[in-house]
Structure 1
Amino acid sequence: MHVIVNLQPLLTPLTGIGHYTRELTLALLDAGLRMDGVTGTRFEALDPGHPLLAAPTQAATLGASPLDERGPLWQLARRYLRNPLTRRAYRWLCSERLRRQGQRLARQGDTVYWEPNYVLLPWQGPSVLTIHDLSHERHPEFHPRERVEFFNRHLPESLAHASRINVVSQFTADELQALHGIDASRIDIVSPGVSERFFAVPDAPHATRVRQRHELPERFLLSVGTLEPRKNLVRVMQAFAELPRDEQRAAPLLLVGMQGWGEQTLSREIRSALEAGTVRRLGYVPGDDLPALYALASGFVYVSSYEGFGMPVIEAMAAGTPVLTANVTATAEVGGAAAISVPPGDITAIRGGLRQLLDENHEARIQQGRVRAERFTWQASAEALQASLHRALES
């Protein structure tokens, strides 16, 4: 079997879809599959040493990556791939690459195109399409207007043409059936996995370096995710800022993630907490630091209003950190009984959940979380994806 994958999710610092694309591409290569990657500039054979597949942990030994948040390539990719006009031009280039290079491959009968990011490029052969969530339909207010318009214009056609449709959770499978009438027989669940590095306890020197690099207090609460409306961080910050100031100082709330879209109004209490440093924004953190950040945290907070999966939930569980998450959408499915769960729209409930993270003994919950995280491996995910790719070839 020969697989073509669109590598666009790997061109900026990795968020959830980027990690998903990278890990599964590497797992397919490790399984011996022939793979080609398509970007706006190239159509090329892939191997584990390809620069776009470099491990996050290489940052410490290779120095600052050109795709680091402070680097020029990151700034260039972020500026142009987030602009509607230049993104449309980039997509056209990718389409042309695939059309020219793929015509011969499509006729060979053993080639399948995997699109890990919602919308298929033009392709005449078998294809597998991954859908991570349908928040743009349930909550268009959580997205920029042009993103909603793009998905509304192109997603139905992609769903109709895909040979197989992959989703990352049963919740997203149910959403596809409810919103688009997709027959369940066309859907395969290919959940994300948890990398082994999140299970490994950081050694003392590395933990000390991470603590010093980010000026971490002895105790802190951690949240990881792009700073955008869907992540519900304003309510989380409000709930935290309403705690007594001595409780805030005892365990500040640290926010890790790139700035997303949308200006959000911050209350007087949140502004005060930011000024006092009891709420801090760390920005985009290199992948090599994330496992230690999870492990050093007293609790992890991820109370999104809508998620198709929620990879940080199981990453924190793997690191042995108790989790507070939402009791709706996919995070309820992913966290299960191992997580403290609250309604994402209820600030009082979120505040109570934050206190639970800090005040209770969580040994049993931590053990449940580790066991739950062990269910999600990239090897199992790759096997599920391979099975879906084979079904696409046979359809």
Structure 2
Amino acid sequence: MDLILGSDALRPPLTGIGRYTYELARRLADSEDIARLRYFSMGQWVEDPIAALSQPVADGAPVATPEHKTLRDHLSSNRVAVRVFAALTPAVFGWRLRGNKAAIYHSPNYIVPPFSGKTVSTVHDLSHLLHPEFHPQARVDYLRLALDASLARTDQVITVSETVRQEMLAHGLMSADRIKAIPLAADAVYRPHSSEMLIPAMEALGLQAGHYSLFVGTVEPRKNVARLIQAYRQLPAALRQACPLVVAGGKGWNSEAIHAELAAAQAEGWLRYVSFIDQRWLPALYAGARLMAYPSLYEGFGLPIVEAMASGTPVLTSNTSCMPEVAGGAAYLVNPRDVDDICHGLEHCLSDEAWQADARAKGLARAAQLSWDRCASETIAVYQQLA
């Protein structure tokens, strides 16, 4: 089988779609079913993006590397620029892909360019349709223009959850037989840690294992960090002081008001904001938390939920979108728009040791059901159907 894999998301630091593409690409390169694997990124053939991502490793996790922004990133905030980009690039990319009719083209990042062979697209979520208020208008414009055209030339769609598959069906974007849900997974570095394993990270980050709650993700309105902070503020003061909230994530779109809330809570002494976590410490940061608090408003999959469960950390998350599906009965679910409900859930999860033990066991079992090997094998099965 001759496969061309879109690799525009393979750039450091790997988060979300980049992580998915990376884990998939590694396994496709080793698969006996793939006779030839080539990479195509932003209109260019790429020799070996996996090798380019090779990083020094410490304690089983890659050391952080600086972010590299693409042309699409730089243009993404300009509505005129994204319209021009969406109008011109399909023809250019399609021309550079000519002569490959016998191959299969897979875009792990939504958009399939014009291609004479069979095509596969991975759709991670439909937030631009369901919640356009969570994005800059230019990004919404681009996805509305580019995704419809992409789906028209796509033979098979992969969604990262059954929830997104059902959303696509509800919007009439593709027939049911042409959409396959294939869930993501946590990397093997996310696992329970002994007390000794936690010491280096806890010392480096200034934290005490088992005595903090954790949120990991970009600080932006969709992640609901403002309501999480408001709910945490309502907890008994003694509980807040004994188990502060750690928010780990970079600054996202439209987050100025959220950062003001973060600064106020940090000044009060019960919140710690870390805008950047070196990847070498991230597995221990998960494993050392008493609770993962992830009351996001909308997700396509919600990878931090699975990473926390694989680390043996209890999870509180939302009762909406894909999050109940991903948690699989192992997490405490709250209404993400109800601050009082989030607060009640936080107090229960932080105080009830019996629930914590049960959540750890159920979370580890749920995370074990999801693997990148399974994700790759089910993806290859999609290719084989088309071939």
Q: Same fold (TM over 0.5)?
A: yes
Instruction: Note if contact 2:300-2:321 (Cα within 8 Å) is conserved in structure 1.
Output: yes
User: Deviations along 1:30-62, whole A, 9 cap, x unmatched?
Assistant: 2143221122474134485x113x368469898
Q: Structure 1 residue aligned with 2:130, among 126, 134, 138?
A: 138
Instruction: Note if contact 2:76-2:139 (Cα within 8 Å) is conserved in structure 1.
Output: no
Q: Structure 2 residue aligned with 1:105, among 94, 100, 105?
A: 100
Q: Structure 2 residue aligned with 1:209, among 163, 186, 200?
A: 200
Distance 1:380 1:132 in 2: 17
CA gap 1:129/1:208 in 2 versus in 1, 3 angstroms: same
1:185-196 equivalence runs, <5 A = 185-196=177-188
Q: In structure 2, give the amino acid aligned to 1:7.
A: S
User: Deviations along 1:309-345, whole A, 9 cap, x unmatched?
Assistant: 1111111011000000001110011113210000110
Structure 2 partner of 1:337: 329
Distance 1:191 1:25 in 2: 16
Structure 2 partner of 1:274: 266
Structure 2 partner of 1:4: 4
CA gap 1:79/1:29 in 2 versus in 1, 3 angstroms: closer
Distance 1:345 1:56 in 2: 41
Residue 119 of structure 1: how far off its partner (Å): 1.6
Structure 1 unaligned regions, length at least 5: 68-72
Q: Structure 2 residue aligned with 1:238, among 213, 222, 230?
A: 230
Distance 1:43 1:97 in 2: 13
Q: In structure 1, give the amino acid aligned to 2:46.
A: E
Distance 1:267 1:323 in 2: 24
CA gap 1:290/1:58 in 2 versus in 1, 3 angstroms: same
- Please tell me whether residue 51 in structure 1 is matched to residue 52 in structure 2: yes
Residue 255 of structure 1: how far off its partner (Å): 1.0
Once the two structures are overlaid, the 10-residue window that deviates more, 276-285 or 165-174, is 276-285
Structure 2 partner of 1:299: 291
Q: In structure 1, give the amino acid aligned to 2:40.
A: V
CA gap 1:180/1:86 in 2 versus in 1, 3 angstroms: same
Residue 100 of structure 1: how far off its partner (Å): 4.7
Q: What SS does structure 1 have at the residue aligned with 2:293? A: strand
Instruction: Note if contact 2:151-2:173 (Cα within 8 Å) is conserved in structure 1.
Output: no
Distance 1:164 1:292 in 2: 38
Structure 2 partner of 1:182: 174
Q: What SS does structure 1 have at the residue aligned with 2:377? A: helix
Distance 1:266 1:101 in 2: 43
> Which one has the bigger helix percentage?
1
**Number of paired residues?**
381
Structure 1 partner of 2:161: 169
CA gap 1:64/1:77 in 2 versus in 1, 3 angstroms: farther
Q: In structure 2, give the amino acid aligned to 1:51.
A: A
Q: In structure 2, give the amino acid aligned to 1:211.
A: M
TM-score by length of 2: 0.89
1:60-79 equivalence runs, <5 A = 65-67=65-67, 73=68
- Please tell me whether residue 287 in structure 1 is matched to residue 287 in structure 2: no
